[in-house]
Structure 1
Amino acid sequence: MLDHDSRLPEAAITAPSSVVALVDAASRVERELIGNWLAEGGIAQEFGLTAPVTQLDLDPGAVGARLVGRHDDPLVVPVRVLWLPPERDGVRRTTFSDLLTLTNPRKPHPIMQRRLINKAPDRHLVLTGQPARLSELRANNPGSAGAPDAFARAIVRAGIVALERAERAVIGDRYKVPRLVVEEILDSPEFLRRLDAIAADSGTPAREVYRRAEKALRELVAAQSRLVSDLFTQAMRPVHASTWKVDADETGLDRLRTLNRTHPLVFLPSHRSYVDAFVLGDILARNDFPPNHVVGGANLKFWPLGPIARRTGTVFIRRSFGDDEVYKAVVEEYFAYLLAKRFNLEWYFEGGRTRTGKLRPPRYGLLNYLAAALRSARIDDVMLVPVSITYERLNEIGAIADEQTGGSKQAEGLTWLASYVRNQQHSAGHVYVRFGQPLSARERLTALGDPLHAAGTPESTGETGEPAETTDAEHLAVQRLAFEVAVGINAVTPITVNALTTLVLLGVHERALTRGELRTAIAPVLGYIENRDLPRGELDTLRDDHGLAVVLEQLAVAKVVTVYRGGLEPIYSINPGAHLEAAFYRNSAVHWFVNRAILELAILTAVEAPEGDQLRVGWEAAYRLRDLLKFEFFFPERAEFTSQLTTEMLLVDPDWHRRTAAGTVGADILARLAESGFIMAHRVLRSFFDAQLVVAERLAARDPSLPVDKKAFGDECLLVGKQMLLQQRLHSPESVSSELFGSAVKLADNHGLLTPAADPADLAARRSHFAAELRAIGGRISRAATLDPSNRMEAL
């Protein structure tokens, strides 16, 4: 009954004067089974004891009346009957057919229990949990002196936890679920002190604060059910199995399984689809991981999905709770509780599904709660697991693209759920699940500047036990940790066949290509990917005509690509109106090519400069481009970025260091870029800079003395962006995106171009300069496109 996994020392159970069997029985049948087992010497046989055994209900009232006040030191052993589902194909599992008996095979009705004893004796076991001396239970609960009721509840919780562990040894770790969470948290002296402090600060009666805390806890805590988890997994598995072939990182799973024996894991996946949690959850269940507590938004709380999801481990947290200190305290306490008990968590730290296909900027709220738990010393450490979930094709992508051009998001509900299930009936190729290098939250936060003060110090807690205000250094450390998680996700995200195919097709500006021309354009990029040993899907299928034909036909079925078959041979292009969908697939891998694209634009800038100044101008251009794209991509520190860009340059020109000793980039550098077989700037960066140009020009046209309403300004950018596209001032429809405009507005705000200034003339000049700079970058991107062999007919 200890609250950890180690067994008691042998001396602790040797020759006790008496034994107390805490019986957890829900029916007369279970009580008889346990009574018979005890009478037949079950405990004596299991532990080699001869001491007399007293039978006591695992109930706070009984424990408080007959155990808490004892002056001897009996050995306390929890006992329970475990019911097992029937064996099917060598595996004991619950199926929907079991429900025809109107009972849960893991908790059968008493009438069914009686039948099972006679007809299927292999369907039950009498289990004992890890025993403990009464003195040790007192030592584990130092606040028990003078609080017999609280101590009785603590003994009951310890007994239930010990029995749950014993059950998992039989049925597997995937059935690890917490019990009596609300009760244990509400018995925590530290939590009660914090509630008292909130009551005192707010002038609210303590009883009212306790009531609100209990209500928030019962709303928040996931009431996991093994039966519902089994049935939900079986219901959803065929829906998704017919859609994707799952390709999981087995090596990463083995590493995580070992790590999970000593640390709680927090899975932080990329978020591209509603199906992410199902895919990851199924992989973990198949590999016998305990179920994650998945933190989700209240938008998915509708019936029947909400009640089912809550019973499979989903924690529905309010999107915003402002100054509600009680709810904030409850969330922090619940997170700390789960991690202290080594339950695994999962949340989507981008805050929502990506609309563009690449990672969104992270949200820091839940990571702040995790850091608070570390600072308070409630937990020793947590391992953060970056997870990349990448789909070759995604059936919901049309709706995602529509939202970017001003369409309304369909509200989640029964109609939405039916449509979602129906859409999953179409085959969509592979889904790749990759696990990045786990990060020690304590180690990384400390390295990033968070001192993580020990609990009880003035820095970590207030005088009342309430957490101290978070410092700027602590905020910054959490933000940088989120950045490292994002980098970890990108580092294992594979390049898929659709990502590479759309990358090429989006770069030829409305032209259609034959399969042979496509293979010619793809080949040098494949060589680049192999040379850098980048993670990838089944890209070899793009090398031969048949494999490429299959990929293109599947994209045509998804209405991303259109095929013209009336001529000499089929030709392929991006379907009109499907540029955002194509960009979504491309952008899942676009981060692998950003440095190459920046290098190309830096070179084009450098060759415009006087000969002796070209290297300086080129590097300044690269750093400026990095700054302009900082809200779109995750760049390393400047020194590391410089090293990465130098490595890219050596791939283009192995003699780069020798040739540039004189401070010039060389007259033939543009030819060397073209000879590499591909150019990336127009494929990778054009849509982002086009969106920035729309924002910059609209700002330049505004009265600098007037404030900017960001929502109204975003709507204006969408309308004007569509006009600029029709006027061919923008290159492609993928540039007209509310998501890209939103990032561009953040960039403008970061550069001080949104808020009215004391000197309106200066602000107007800076806005105009910003727009002119982006027009110049757009010109260089157009020049880069002309260097690309795939845009020269003779090269194809």
Structure 2
Amino acid sequence: MRSVSGAGRMWHRLSGGIVRRWLGFRLVEPDPVELDPEPITLYVLPHPSLSDELAVAQLTRKLGLPDAGRRVALGELTLPSCLPLPRLRRTWRGVKTQGAEPLGPLLAALEQDPELDVQLVPVSVFWSRAPGKDFGFWKMLAADDWAWSGRLRRLLSLIVNGRHLEAHLGEPIRLRPLLDDSHTRLTQRTLARVLRVHFRRVRARVLGPDISHRRTLVRGVVGSPAVRQAIYEAASANRSNALKERKRAERYAREIASNMSYPVLRFLYELLKRLWNRLYDGVDVHGLEAVKAIAGERTLIYVPCHRSHVDYLLLSYVLYREGLMPPHIAAGRNLDMPLIGPLLRRGGAFFMRRSFKDNRLYAAVFNEYLHRLIARGQPVEYFIEGGRSRTGRMLDPRPGMLAMTLRSFVRDATRDVAFVPVYIGYEKVLESNAYLRELRGGSKKKESPLDLIHVLRHLRQPHGRVAVNVGEPLSLTDFLDGLAPAWRAERDQPRPEWLKRAVPQLGRTLAERINDGATVNAVSLVAMALLATPHHTIESDLLAHQVALLVRLQQRAPGSAHCRLPAGDAAAWIDQVVALGFIQRRPQALGELISASPEQATLLTWYRNNVLHLFTHFGLVAFAFRNNVAFCLDELDTLLAPAWPLIARELNAREVADHRQHLAATLDALSAEGLLKQSDNEWRRQPGHLEASEQLRLLGQPVQPTLERTYLLLASLLRYPSGELTRETLEEHSRLLAERLTLLAGLNAPEFFDKRLFSALLETLEAQGWLRVEEERLHYDDALMRAQKRSRTLFDPELRHRLVRLTRQ
């Protein structure tokens, strides 16, 4: 045990009085802390440190916890309330401790007095944060990292970082129950090992793994067997020498590799904190608790949806603020621009080319670099959609990064990988004007450093709130065990058979989990209701009733626990959308109207599409009643069951295991809201003069475009005998028909005739068994023809006639 003299205690009090006024905590987890008041509370630190003891003493006084600056008596033994574990020193004989071990006398005192009980609270204090890396002079000044601090460095860190402390308090460990348990042999060594494991996991979660310098990492990538083999193959293919190709590989590695820098992370955090406070009314974060629980044990792969250029900055800011290590971020090489690129690289970005399938050497370097990040437990972030969503929908996942991650994990599966789906929802995105232009058919604008000037113009405009919702993490081990139980036995194969199935299935699963965590905000609610009207104008009271109805339906929706709903009431939501400039009020003698201009309506489609998947099943059922007065459950299930997988696939909504059961729950919800009347096993729509009839019509309108696209595609296919059309021919013909329909209807909706939507429809029809491809030709049977005939009852005669006439051209 370390003995403290009277002079030492006096110095402790004197230094504490000086330091106390300077220290400030940026983050305390968990907050607030609740401790059992009965047992004696002692705090355990990972290593001896006077500054840490002073910080913990101040923190406990601030939180109203048992004072960590006092001394406690345990029988004849007197101990300080802060017990540091001794440092470990490695020698040729093994690992030894440096300094006295405080846990042995503590356990001995408890064994001598059965009435005594003690709870140990592990506390990790971080004097700001940096990953384990050499930063020159800044390494002395600013940061906890994986190397223990010396006295001079800690003094300088106290001066520089004293107001940016983080404290992470672990779960209390009650010693008396462990000592009394006959099945547990609690020893000083066992208890110290448990505490050190806890401290190691906290450090891994907060600081990330211990990584080497960038130059060392680049050398390791280029010198790896896979890259060396690619160098020899490139030299042979290009008729050059290995030295020249090695230099090219080194150039690729430097082009790719990030150069994460603590000073830049700290600078970006302070800058972004000011930026978000200026731009948004607040950043709401939900679901990070599940990530914190596994952050020290698994490699985390963050896969957020991609809505805005600031997505990755926002997520890194949130993770840093919440005490997690910001990830290394895969960014397109187009962002490696002057001024911006170096800053992003030091903030953790590593850059990749859009396509490198024809450059095997570059592919080998990139794969090796990504593998080393993942194998070492470094958190990584990439967008599975590839690029930003210009329509507001979740785009179909790209296979590239997912396939590389799977191959990396199979290559070294000693540490599990957990995908973390993240939904980022904005009430108003910075790129509104650009998206408006692109939604109206304009071409995508290339990124430029001058875009920063355009962002600055928005600082004084209102942008509402932004939500960051973390979905359910997906263990890659569990995923592969469910998909291909024998994957471990086939890990040495270069391209195992299950990999082709695993990549798209993994992408769909992650996209569904991202969408499950969607935030329904005021703008998306108003967009859902207003865009369902013919001329984007609606009575104010009907709009209020409709948006309130949408929220109540979502509360009743099966499996809606992960999505977030807005607080407040309908009137406040409408006021918020007016303040953001998306709609305007129009006074009228018979009552106020709410309307959107053509430009506003076009932009609102982006926000509606953010949450369209959450209301699609309600909309599909409501649309079925537009041209039909009544249905029984069996009739409705037969009619809608084939359509639901097509819509769910297009919107990346979670497919249901039992459609009939899901349909019954949907009908019950609509009946409870008065939109349908139930009699025995039959549901009827309300009379047309009632508001409930209009609400049902508005609810069903958003699914009409998807149903129309499906009808156009099937009608075009069935005009020809089975086996006559190719996929490419049908996709292009369907796209042209959809474009013609929008022009005849006077609509400006390029999203309606996006060729990718028809491609996804065909893939789903094939997966569901309605189509099969033989010798590059599409084949079908009578079941598809019967299903297409049944679907005609969904459409009113006028719309059906227009679609049929269009397909005959």
Global fold match (TM > 0.5): yes
* Native 8 Å contact 2:249 2:361 kept in 1: yes
Structure 2 SS opposite 1:621: helix
Deviation track 1:34-78 (CA, whole Å, cap 9, x = no partner) reads xxxxxxxxxxx9869999xxxxxxxxxxxxxxxxxxxx879999x
2:751 counterpart of 1:737:
yes
Percent identity of equivalent pairs: 20
- Identify if the C-alpha distance between structure 1 residues 233 and 593 changes in structure 2 by more than 3 Å, giving closer, same or farther: same
Structure 1 SS opposite 2:422: strand
* Native 8 Å contact 1:195 1:209 kept in 2: no
Shift of 1:295: 0.8
2:474 counterpart of 1:439:
yes
2:743 counterpart of 1:723:
yes
Comparing 385-394 and 254-263, the one that deviates more: 254-263
2:30 — aligned with what? none
Structure 1 SS opposite 2:392: coil
* Native 8 Å contact 2:280 2:462 kept in 1: yes
1:120, 1:446 → 2: CA distance? 48
1:759, 1:488 → 2: CA distance? 33
2:251 counterpart of 1:215:
yes
* Native 8 Å contact 1:497 1:537 kept in 2: no
Deviation track 1:217-259 (CA, whole Å, cap 9, x = no partner) reads 2221111111222223333332332121334335x22332221
Structure 2 SS opposite 1:338: helix
1:561 alignment partner AA: I
Relative to the length of structure 2, the TM-score reads 0.65
Shift of 1:191: 3.0
- Identify if the C-alpha distance between structure 1 residues 772 and 248 changes in structure 2 by more than 3 Å, giving closer, same or farther: same
Specify which of 564, 569, 576 is matched with residue 551 of structure 1. Answer: 576
1:759, 1:105 → 2: CA distance? 61
Shift of 1:431: 0.6
- Identify if the C-alpha distance between structure 1 residues 48 and 538 changes in structure 2 by more than 3 Å, giving closer, same or farther: closer
1:84 — aligned with what? none
1:81 — aligned with what? none
Question: Which blocks of at least 5 consecutive residues in structure 2 are unaligned?
Answer: 1-46, 48-84, 98-125, 131-135, 143-149, 159-198, 801-809
2:213 counterpart of 1:180:
yes
2:666 counterpart of 1:666:
no
Question: Which blocks of at least 5 consecutive residues in structure 1 are unaligned?
Answer: 1-9, 11-44, 52-71, 78-89, 95-102, 110-116, 126-164, 463-467, 727-731, 784-796
- Identify if the C-alpha distance between structure 1 residues 762 and 531 changes in structure 2 by more than 3 Å, giving closer, same or farther: closer
2:530 alignment partner AA: L
1:587 — aligned with what? 609
1:219 alignment partner AA: E
1:594, 1:629 → 2: CA distance? 8
Deviation track 1:3-32 (CA, whole Å, cap 9, x = no partner) reads xxxxxxx9xxxxxxxxxxxxxxxxxxxxxx
2:640, 2:341 → 1: CA distance? 48
- Identify if the C-alpha distance between structure 1 residues 306 and 177 changes in structure 2 by more than 3 Å, giving closer, same or farther: farther
2:89, 2:776 → 1: CA distance? 88
More strand by share: 2
2:639 counterpart of 1:621:
yes
1:469 alignment partner AA: R
2:495 — aligned with what? 469
* Native 8 Å contact 1:373 1:379 kept in 2: no
2:242 counterpart of 1:242:
no
Specify which of 328, 334, 345 is matched with residue 363 of structure 2. Answer: 328
Structure 2 SS opposite 1:577: helix
* Native 8 Å contact 1:500 1:586 kept in 2: yes
Pairs within 5 Å for 1:706-717 = 716=736
1:199 — aligned with what? 232
1:367, 1:226 → 2: CA distance? 29
Q: CA RMSD in A?
A: 5.0
1:233 — aligned with what? 269
Shift of 1:315: 1.4
Structure 2 SS opposite 1:262: coil
1:586, 1:332 → 2: CA distance? 38
Pairs within 5 Å for 1:97-496 = 122-123=155-156, 173=206, 178-181=211-214, 183-184=216-217, 186-187=219-220, 191-192=224-225, 195-196=228-229, 199=232, 203-204=236-237, 206-249=242-285, 252-449=287-484, 451-453=486-488, 459-461=490-492, 468-471=494-497, 473-496=498-521
Specify which of 510, 527, 552 is matched with residue 552 of structure 2. Answer: 527
Deviation track 1:566-599 (CA, whole Å, cap 9, x = no partner) reads 6565421122233231122122222121112223
Deviation track 1:72-122 (CA, whole Å, cap 9, x = no partner) reads 879999xxxxxxxxxxxx98699xxxxxxxx9755789xxxxxxx999993
Shift of 1:268: 0.9
2:566 — aligned with what? 539
Structure 2 SS opposite 1:265: strand
Structure 1 SS opposite 2:279: coil
Shift of 1:344: 0.4
* Native 8 Å contact 2:235 2:245 kept in 1: no
Structure 2 SS opposite 1:507: coil
- Identify if the C-alpha distance between structure 1 residues 750 and 198 changes in structure 2 by more than 3 Å, giving closer, same or farther: farther
1:760, 1:299 → 2: CA distance? 39
Pairs within 5 Å for 1:12-91 = none
- Identify if the C-alpha distance between structure 1 residues 180 and 207 changes in structure 2 by more than 3 Å, giving closer, same or farther: same
2:425, 2:758 → 1: CA distance? 26
Shift of 1:725: 2.0
Structure 2 SS opposite 1:179: coil
2:328, 2:797 → 1: CA distance? 49
1:724 alignment partner AA: L
1:512 alignment partner AA: T
2:495 alignment partner AA: E
1:588, 1:554 → 2: CA distance? 20
1:707, 1:538 → 2: CA distance? 41
1:564 — aligned with what? 586
2:89, 2:156 → 1: CA distance? 27
2:382, 2:221 → 1: CA distance? 26
1:724, 1:768 → 2: CA distance? 27
* Native 8 Å contact 1:264 1:339 kept in 2: yes
1:684 — aligned with what? 702
- Identify if the C-alpha distance between structure 1 residues 769 and 553 changes in structure 2 by more than 3 Å, giving closer, same or farther: same
Pairs within 5 Å for 1:696-707 = none
Relative to the length of structure 1, the TM-score reads 0.66
1:550, 1:202 → 2: CA distance? 66
* Native 8 Å contact 1:601 1:780 kept in 2: no
2:491 alignment partner AA: S
- Identify if the C-alpha distance between structure 1 residues 296 and 450 changes in structure 2 by more than 3 Å, giving closer, same or farther: farther
Deviation track 1:116-163 (CA, whole Å, cap 9, x = no partner) reads x999993169xxxxxxxxxxxxxxxxxxxxxxxxxxxxxxxxxxxxxx
- Identify if the C-alpha distance between structure 1 residues 721 and 298 changes in structure 2 by more than 3 Å, giving closer, same or farther: farther
* Native 8 Å contact 2:226 2:364 kept in 1: no
